[in-house]
Amino acid sequence: MRRSQTQFDDRPDAAPAKVAVFATEPVDEVQRRAEQLAAQLNLPLVAAYDSAFDMLLTVTNDRLELRFPQSGGPRPLYVDFVEGRHGYARGVHRYGLLFNAIGYRNRPLTVLDATAGLGRAAFRLAYHGCHVSAVERSAILFELLKDGIDRAARVPHIRDHMGDRLQVHLGDSREFLHRLAPDAAPDVVYLDPMFPPTKKSALVKVEMRILRRLVGDDLDADSLFEAARSVARQRVVVKRFSRSEPLSPDLSHSHSDGTTRYDVYMQPARTREDMPAT
């Protein structure tokens, strides 16, 4: 029986996803990139579409994709900031709540996106003028994100408009935050943690199920939140489901559309000299 695309296995007791690297074309450049990724990520390199794996990090002529070789698996997942519903020229209204939450007022802000994921919030903020550092600890997601940014930078308008306002980093955001020098503290730290699923949120979109199976839940969300609050100069913003409890009772205010909520925690007034020493 063919699995539905909405039934991707994200059970809490599911084994970690088995991932391999696959190249779609017998082209030297494609094969070479696949070999480099396999060695870099310490993943097996397969020569055929192997259903023994849950996911294949797939190198094509055009982009890097995450594919699902088992029968009935979801469509390929990749990062695209140029075309589609997440393209640079589309869906601006979908990020209005986020812009309000970070305090964007047509002036430059420095933002640290501590849970970058597929980078959509980070890219949108940078495209509209913020200086964004995006940190992702999953090496596979990091490679997908970097590939999407590199392809977007080939479009002259995007490259000229954004410049170097978006920087991506691989690593643990808590360590990244603690290593920041006081004069490098961001105005805003943005968090979109992957919380464990509940019965009420069982029908989350397929993409979220894929990410959960790949990287697991952010069980250290509380410690990341505290690290963010120790560093942010103006505010910490946390994305939540609308019915979820705030991470802290001293919530300043929220922006919600009935489904998604952005909780804002304003920081006490401080100068850079007040920031904790690294």
pLDDT tops 80 at residue 146: yes
Beta-sheet pairing, 260-266 with 166-170: unpaired
Tell me, yes or no, whether 49 and 113 share the same domain: no
Tell me, yes or no, whether 68 and 116 share the same domain: no
162: number of Cβ within 10 Å = 21
Q: Look up tokens 């994200």; give the residue.
A: 10
Tell me, yes or no, whether 60 and 133 share the same domain: no
Q: Among candidates 134, 106, 128, 249, which has minimal Cα distance to 190?
A: 134
pLDDT tens-digit series, residues 183-228: 999 999 999 987 655 544 444 577 777 887 787 665 678 899 999 9
Tell me, yes or no, whether 133 and 263 share the same domain: yes
Say if pTM beats, i.e. exceeds, 0.75. Answer: yes
pLDDT tens-digit series, residues 72-100: 778 899 999 998 766 665 555 567 899 99
Q: Among candidates 158, 112, 160, 119, which has minimal Cα distance to 138?
A: 119
80 vs 70: CA distance, rounded Å = 24
CA 147-152-155 angle, to 5 degrees, is 140
**Environment class of residue 146 by beta-carbon count within 10 Å: exposed (0-12), middle (13-18) or buried (19+)?**
middle
Residue range(s) defining the domain that contains residue 261? 84-274
Q: Among candidates 73, 77, 76, 75, which has minimal Cα distance to 8?
A: 73
Tell me, yes or no, whether 90 and 166 share the same domain: yes
Tell me, yes or no, whether 92 and 221 share the same domain: yes
Average pLDDT score over residue span 145-161: 94
Q: What is the CATH number of the domain that holds 258?
A: 3.40.50.150
Tell me, yes or no, whether 212 and 114 share the same domain: yes
Domain boundary among 78, 100, 121: 78
Domain boundary among 34, 54, 78: 78
Q: Which pLDDT value is given to residue 83?
A: 84
Domain boundary among 54, 78, 102: 78
Tell me, yes or no, whether 172 and 38 share the same domain: no
Tell me, yes or no, whether 169 and 198 share the same domain: yes
Q: Which pLDDT value is given to residue 241?
A: 86
Tell me, yes or no, whether 200 and 66 share the same domain: no
pLDDT tops 60 at residue 268: yes
User: Under a CB-based contact definition with an 8 Å cutoff, are residues 72 and 48 in contact?
Assistant: no
186 vs 135: CA distance, rounded Å = 13
Tell me, yes or no, whether 107 and 3 share the same domain: no
Beta strands in the chain (DSSP E): 19-23, 45-46, 55-59, 64-67, 110-113, 131-136, 166-170, 188-191, 235-241, 253-256, 260-266
How many domains does the structure of the chain reveal? 2
Tell me, yes or no, whether 37 and 119 share the same domain: no
26: number of Cβ within 10 Å = 8
Calculate Rg over the CA atoms of the chain. 19
Q: What is the CATH number of the domain that holds 60?
A: 3.40.120
